Structure 1
């Protein structure tokens, strides 16, 4: 799975209002006096319309680098 490129087509269904570590799957770690960069994650639901093989289920929990075209 790592290193594979999947070409899928879909559309954005929803964008969640919350961001930051409170809504993140990975909360920030605050050690004693150490600065921790807080990464803001905004959950986006993308519905896949084309390109997914029904015989090869897509594993859950993957990270992606989507390319979005705004029309």
Structure 2
């Protein structure tokens, strides 16, 4: 039986450009207005960790392709 919701189990960072908290903050900023079920899981984890975020200054979205920030 499933709960019908998604959750972030682990955040994995490749490279040394950002840490786990920063990556989650950036993802939450982009996903804050999304209704997608995976976005809701990202935002839930952000709230659990009490991380603040700012909306991105510019980004584009494409259906079925996701988002892109310059």
The structure with the larger Rg is 1
**TM-score category of the 2 structures, normalised to the smaller one:** under 0.3
**Bigger share in strand:** 1
